[in-house]
Amino acid sequence: MKKLEGKIALVTGAGRGIGRAIAQKLASEGAAVFINDLDQEAVDETLSTIRAAGGKAAGFAGNITKPGIPDAFVKAALDNFGEIDIIVNNAGYAWDTVIQKLTDEQFQAMLDIHVTAPVRILRAAGTHIIPKAKQEKADGKVVARKVINISSISGLYGNAGQIGYSAGKAAILGVTKTMAKEWGRYNVNVNCVAFGLIQTRMTAPIGTPESVAQIEGNTIKMGVPPDFVAENVKLIPLGRAGTPEDAAGAVYLFCLPESGFITGQVLLVSGGQVI
């Protein structure tokens, strides 16, 4: 029997990159996956890969930074699968600049996607999880649920040029530790995975098509200088950048039944790189 057989997992930002790899990994281990991304096309691409591999998945396109969308996402998941066992707050992107060039719009966007949206999703999910957990306890049942939030090495140590991104990724650490204390009574493990250098569009060479995103009418230029990855790999003891599959594997660890007594923790997944 697969480790996550019968579990229902919600994954945001699953239309590409790390989010897609997480959804694929959880589905491959038996979970039914309900995914979200901005664009229906990206959602459909991920769903097709999961279904082609024999997995069970459904999706919901929409901007989770908009009020009401997190509630609609959670409701759609419950309408499709009837339960919530795992929540992975993965959606995110970087809109970088130094502080003297930072606009209020940029800063707020980073807080909205990395902190506000996850909090709204957890709040919405709580309207189902909390009464369900109370009833399970009254019935003498033990049902474990998992929340995995996503942070970054930038949130742990800061990074020049990423004032907004670092602030958002640091804030989700506080959310994680607080939710671990609030939801422990409901048998929910709440942990966080902080990624180092992972091969995604955020680390693609500057100016390439894959390093540019269109979000709410804004052209977001991500990416890094061509020699950035090679220079940073020198700081990684394992000698390479991580893959989306490496990232997904770390999230999967916190979804396992064996992680049942681990909560409020932050796992740095960086190949050994520290600042």
What is the CATH number for 66? Answer: 3.40.50.720
Give the Cα separation of 45 and 20 in Å (integer): 9
Provide mean pLDDT across the span 184-199: 97
Residue 42 has pLDDT above 80, yes or no: yes
In a domain, 231, yes or no: no
Does residue 37 contact residue 14 with C-beta atoms inside 8 Å? Answer: yes
Residue percentage of the chain with pLDDT more than 90: 87
Number of domains in the chain: 1
**Element (H or E) spanning 11, and its range?**
strand 8-11
pTM to 2 decimals? 0.94
Give the Cα separation of 225 and 233 in Å (integer): 14
DSSP structure class, residue 202: G
Residue 119 has pLDDT above 80, yes or no: yes
Residue 10 has pLDDT above 90, yes or no: yes
The per-residue pLDDT for range 104-116, each reduced to its tens digit, is 999 999 999 999 9
- Judge whether 93 counts as a catalytic residue: no
In a domain, 183, yes or no: yes
Provide mean pLDDT across the span 40-57: 98
In a domain, 128, yes or no: yes
In a domain, 51, yes or no: yes
In a domain, 101, yes or no: no
| Tokens at 261, concatenated | 């007594």
Of residues 264 and 224, more confidently modeled: 264
Residues 6+ apart with CB under 8 A from 163: 97, 98, 99, 102, 107
Of 96-110, 212-226, 257-271, the least confident: 212-226
| Amino acid 12: pLDDT | 98
In a domain, 229, yes or no: no
Residue 274 has pLDDT above 80, yes or no: yes
Name the H helices within 6-116. Answer: 17-28, 40-52, 69-81, 104-111
The per-residue pLDDT for range 195-229, each reduced to its tens digit, is 999 998 878 777 777 777 778 778 877 777 878 88
**Is 3 exposed, middle or buried (CB count within 10 Å of its CB: 0-12, 13-18, 19+)?**
middle
β-partners of residue 17 are: none
CA 163-164-166 angle, 5° bins = 65
Question: Of 93, 157, 165, 186, which residue is the catalytic one?
Answer: 165
The per-residue pLDDT for range 130-152, each reduced to its tens digit, is 999 999 999 999 999 999 999 99
CB count in 10 Å sphere of residue 189: 23
In a domain, 100, yes or no: no
**Nearest of 199, 183, 201 to residue 191 by alpha carbon:** 183
In a domain, 21, yes or no: yes
Domain extent at residue 23: 8-94+109-197+243-267
| Amino acid 227: pLDDT | 83
Give the Cα separation of 34 and 26 in Å (integer): 11
Provide mean pLDDT across the span 225-244: 90
**Nearest of 5, 182, 204, 158 to residue 85 by alpha carbon:** 5
| Amino acid 159: pLDDT | 93
